[in-house]
Amino acid sequence: MKLQRTNRLRALSLGAVAVSGALVLTACGSDNNTTEATKKAASKIKCDGKGKLLASGSTAQKNAVDAWVKNYQAACKDTQINYKDIGSGGGIQEWLQGTTAFAGSDSALKPEEVASSKKVCKSGQGVNLPMLGGPIAISYNLSGVDDLVLDAPTVAKIFDSKIKKWNDPAIKKLNPGAKLPSTDIQPFHRSDESGTTQNLGKYLGTAAKSDWKYEDEKSWPAKGGQSASGSAGIAQQVKQTDGAIGYFELSYATANNLDSVKIDTGAGEPVEATSENASKAIADAEVAGKGKDLALELNYQTKAKSAYPVILVTYEIACDKGNKKSTLDATKSFLNYTASKDGQGALSELGYAPLPEGIAEKVRSTIPELS
């Protein structure tokens, strides 16, 4: 357990780095806040365009975006980037209304959203550009328990309010050595439309078909439980509520020093939620999109050794053709950096999984072709 605690404390300090990135954003890249590491990263960035670049969407990628913006604005002082973490659904809606240059989403555009995008992309349509991956941590707060194993059916029953006590026989069977209390389970889910919710639903609907009968939508489908806004909101509720369990991107678990469950995939040892283990699962993904659209099909039933299956990939969504001329150059410049080896290299320390190199190369070759 000491190693697990040490890793969490290390990750907590890294989470603080991400928060400092948000402060630098507020300060518009003040030289007083520019570290040597930021200067080094900034020296390799090619700046194009200027002015304000507005974007919104996924809360899961917020910590990564803060770090990217910090490095980018240190190099490109003529560009101000404002990213609002309002959830994937909200980000897509703002982009479809033409108020932002691009959207961040934890799930690819639906066919009807692609159809709607043709009104914004006058001569084209919206495309999905995968930018980072990562584990969806299923984190909990249970006094006296800091090592917990669950499998997909048990997770499904917990979030569907079918398992209501922490000492339920199904949980005890997976944790024979744990002293599980009779505490009520307090499951928390997102109140806003969320790609993280949708990806959790895809995992449960695939790996626990008999126990999760809901469609994988951005809105939470099950009855019961309690809700909170954004990944940060759920993490805060779990942190302050004994018996709570919730789901969010790993950096929110580490930043709040929360324990996360290991998943029994049936492939041997239970798998911990780490960026490295998520990368092993994402490596099984295939590009399902066509043309410039690089939407991925994830394998939620992977049984590869040490592959953590509860994963998401965050997309940046823009027009393949018909982007606003006033923000096109800056958008391409910023996304070129985030997809670059330097941009991807910053992710692991923040608890994210960099894109597999084959996918990253496709993204890098597609961004310059946006028009």
Structure tokens at 14: 């890294």
Q: What is the DSSP string of 226-293?
A: EEESHHHHHHHHHHHSTTEEEEEEHHHHHHTT-EEPEE--SSSS-B---HHHHHHHHTT-EE---TT-
pLDDT value, residue 3: 36
181 or 59, greater pLDDT:
181
3-state class (DSSP) for residue 196: helix
pLDDT value, residue 14: 36
**How far, in Å, CA of 241 to CA of 293, rounded?**
42
> What percentage of the chain exceeds 70 in pLDDT?
88
Q: Is the pLDDT of residue 29 over 50?
A: no
pLDDT value, residue 49: 86
Residues 6+ positions from 223 with CB-CB distance below 8 Å: 161
**Which sign does the torsion angle of CA 231, 284, 221, 95 carry?**
positive
Q: What pLDDT band is residue 28 in, cutting at 50, 70 and 90?
A: very low
Write the pLDDT tens digit of every residue in 146-173.
999 999 999 999 999 999 999 999 999 9
**How far, in Å, CA of 68 to CA of 131, rounded?**
12
Q: Is the pLDDT of residue 114 over 60?
A: yes
Q: Is the pLDDT of residue 250 over 60?
A: yes
In eight-state DSSP terms, residue 369 is G
Q: What is the mean pLDDT of residues 305-320?
A: 95
> What percentage of the chain exceeds 90 in pLDDT?
74
Please, are residues 311 and 281 in contact by the beta-carbon 8 Å criterion?
A: yes
pLDDT value, residue 324: 95
Q: What is the DSSP string of 32-97?
A: GG--HHHHHHHTTPPP---EEEEEEE-STTHHHHHHHHHHHHHH-TTEEEEEEE--HHHHHHHHHT
Residue ranges and CATH numbers for the domains of the chain are: 2-132+290-295+316-369 (3.40.190.10), 135-280 (3.40.190.10)
pLDDT value, residue 348: 85
Q: What is the mean pLDDT of residues 120-144?
A: 96
pLDDT value, residue 11: 38
pLDDT value, residue 37: 54
Q: What pLDDT band is residue 350 in, cutting at 50, 70 and 90?
A: confident
**How far, in Å, CA of 304 to CA of 76, rounded?**
42
Residues forming a β-bridge with 227: 189
**How far, in Å, CA of 75 to CA of 153, rounded?**
48
Q: What is the mean pLDDT of residues 117-137?
A: 95
Global model pTM greater than 0.85: no
Q: Is the pLDDT of residue 297 over 50?
A: yes
Q: What is the mean pLDDT of residues 304-328?
A: 95
**How far, in Å, CA of 93 to CA of 81, rounded?**
19
pLDDT value, residue 60: 87
Structure tokens at 221: 């489908």
Question: 362 exposed, middle or buried (CB, 10 Å; 0-12, 13-18, 19+)?
Answer: middle
Residues forming a β-bridge with 84: 56
Q: Is the pLDDT of residue 223 over 90?
A: yes
Other CB atoms within a 10 A radius of the CB of residue 115 amount to 12
**How far, in Å, CA of 91 to CA of 191, rounded?**
15
Write the pLDDT tens digit of every residue in 353-367.
899 898 999 999 999
pLDDT value, residue 82: 97
152 or 351, greater pLDDT:
152
Phi, psi of 354 (to 5 degrees): -60, 155
Phi, psi of 98 (to 5 degrees): 80, 15
Q: What is the mean pLDDT of residues 73-79?
A: 95
Write the pLDDT tens digit of every residue in 30-58.
334 445 555 565 667 999 988 999 999 99
